[in-house]
Amino acid sequence: MRQSRAEIAADFLMEVAGQALPGERIGSREELRSQCQVSVGTFNEALRIAQSRGVITVRPGPGGGLFAAQPPPMVRLGNAVLALDTDQTSVAEAIRIRNALDPLLIEDALWHASPADLAAMRGILQDMRRAADTRDAMAFMHANWRLHAAIAAVSPHPVLRSLYTSLLDLIESHTLSILPDQEQALPDVFARRHALHAALVEAIAAHDRERAMSLIAEHDTADASANEPATP
C-alpha cells in the first residue's frame, strides 16, 4: 500500500532525528516543513506520527523547535516491538504472566463460549483484518488485546478473569507505538497473527481442544522473547 504524504514526511523526520544525538535540536517547524515540502496540516500530522513513535519532542518558545527524543524503553512481542512510556521490565513481566495464563483461559472458552461470545470474537477479528489492511499497527494491536479480553471474559472464574484483564490493561496503557522487529514487515506479521487468531476462535467454536492448545502454544512461543528488553 502507498504511504500518505504525512507518513512520508514522518519517515523523513524520524530519519533526521535518528542521525542526531538525544536532546539535539534538529530544526524549527518551518525549516523542517519546508524540507518536507508539505502543507502545514500535513506536516502537523507527520509530526504527530513521529511524536507517537517516541523519536521527536517539541519545545515551544525562544530556542525551541523540534528535538531528537531519548529513545523510549521497548520490549519485543513476537515479530513486533512495543515502544513504551515506562520501564520495560514491568510490561515484559506482564506479557510473560499473561502468556502463562492463556492455556487456562482457552480451556474455559472451549466449554463455556456461547454463540454470542463467538460472534463478538469474530467481530473483533474483522477489526483486526481491517487494521492489518490499512497498516494501522496500533489499531491492530488494540483489537488483538480486545480479542484476548473477550476470550478471558468467557471464563467462569472471576479471579482469573480479573488478573488477566489487569495484565492486558497494564500492557496496553503503557504502549506508545508498535514497530517492526529485526526488519520484519508489520503488514506480513499482522496477516499471520490474524490468521492464527482466526483459527484459534474457530477451534474454540468447534470444541477442538487439541487444535486450540496447539495454536495458543504457537501464539505464546512467538511472544516468548517479550521478557527480554529490545534494543532501541
Domain with CATH 1.10.10.10 in the chain: 5-68
Please list the rounded mean pLDDT of every run of 10 residues in the chain (232 residues): 78 88 90 93 90 84 86 79 82 93 97 97 96 88 96 97 96 84 72 94 97 92 58 44
Q: Considering the entire predicted model, what is its pTM?
A: 0.71
pLDDT (0 to 100) of residue 55: 84
For the domain covering 5-68, report its CATH number: 1.10.10.10
CA dist., res. 86 & res. 88, Å (int) = 6
Domain with CATH 1.20.120.530 in the chain: 74-227
pLDDT (0 to 100) of residue 138: 87
pLDDT (0 to 100) of residue 3: 65
Query: Is domain 74-227 classified as CATH 1.20.120.530?
Result: yes
Give DSSP secondary structure letters for the chain: -PPPHHHHHHHHHHHHHHTSPTT-EEE-HHHHHHHHT--HHHHHHHHHHHHHTTSEEEE-STT-EEEEPPPPPEEEETTEEEEESS-HHHHHHHHHHHHHHHHHHHHHHHHH--HHHHHHHHHHHHHHHHHHHTT-HHHHHHHHHHHHHHHHHT-S-HHHHHHHHHHHHHHHHTEEEEEESTT--HHHHHHHHHHHHHHHHHHHHTT-HHHHHHHHHHHHHHTGGGGSBPP-
